[in-house]
């Protein structure tokens, strides 16, 4: 089973892209303070891409999803493909 739950804060403004089939994809870096690292989160469909733009840099968020691995520029890159995004209130 590949299920990951991470809580952190938005490191930069979310970026929007579209697949050749017209599906909206939103990508944003999530800073995980406890581990001292950033992971790229990719959200599509049910994860709620439309709501992602309400977040600003520093906004706390919890993401559940699956880890994916891509090979880019002679190295492997891990991403979190979001299934659910929960915005945390301060």
Mean pLDDT of 49-78: 80
All structural domains of the chain with their residue ranges? 4-87
Instruction: Give the pTM.
Output: 0.81
Q: Is the pLDDT of residue 24 over 90?
A: no
Topology of domain 4-87, CATH: OB fold (Dihydrolipoamide Acetyltransferase, E2P) (2.40.50)
How far is 64 from 61, CA to CA, in rounded Å?
10
More confident residue, 3 or 89: 3
Residue-wise DSSP of the chain: ---EEEEEEE-S--EEEE-TT--EEEEEEEEETTTTEEEEEEEEGGG-HHHHTT--TT-EEEEEEEEEEEEETTEEEEEEEEEEEEEPP-
**How does pLDDT run across 34-61, given as a tens digit for each residue?**
989 999 999 886 565 555 655 678 889 9
Q: Is the pLDDT of residue 14 over 80?
A: yes
With a pLDDT cut of 90, the percent of the chain lying above it is 33
C-alpha closest to that of 9 among 43, 60, 81, 62:
60
With a pLDDT cut of 70, the percent of the chain lying above it is 87
Mean pLDDT, the chain, as a whole number?
84
Q: Contact, 42 vs 15, CB < 8 A?
A: no
């Amino acid at each position: 089973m590949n299920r990951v739950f991470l809580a952190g804060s938005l490191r930069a403004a979310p970026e929007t892209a579209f697949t050749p089939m017209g599906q909206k994809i939103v990508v944003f870096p999530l800073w995980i303070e406890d581990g001292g690292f950033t992971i790229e989160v990719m959200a599509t469909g049910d994860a709620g891409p439309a709501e992602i733009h309400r977040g600003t840099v520093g906004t706390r968020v919890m993401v559940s999803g699956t880890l994916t691995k891509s090979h880019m520029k002679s190295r492997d890159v891990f991403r979190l493909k979001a299934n659910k995004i929960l915005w945390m209130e301060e």
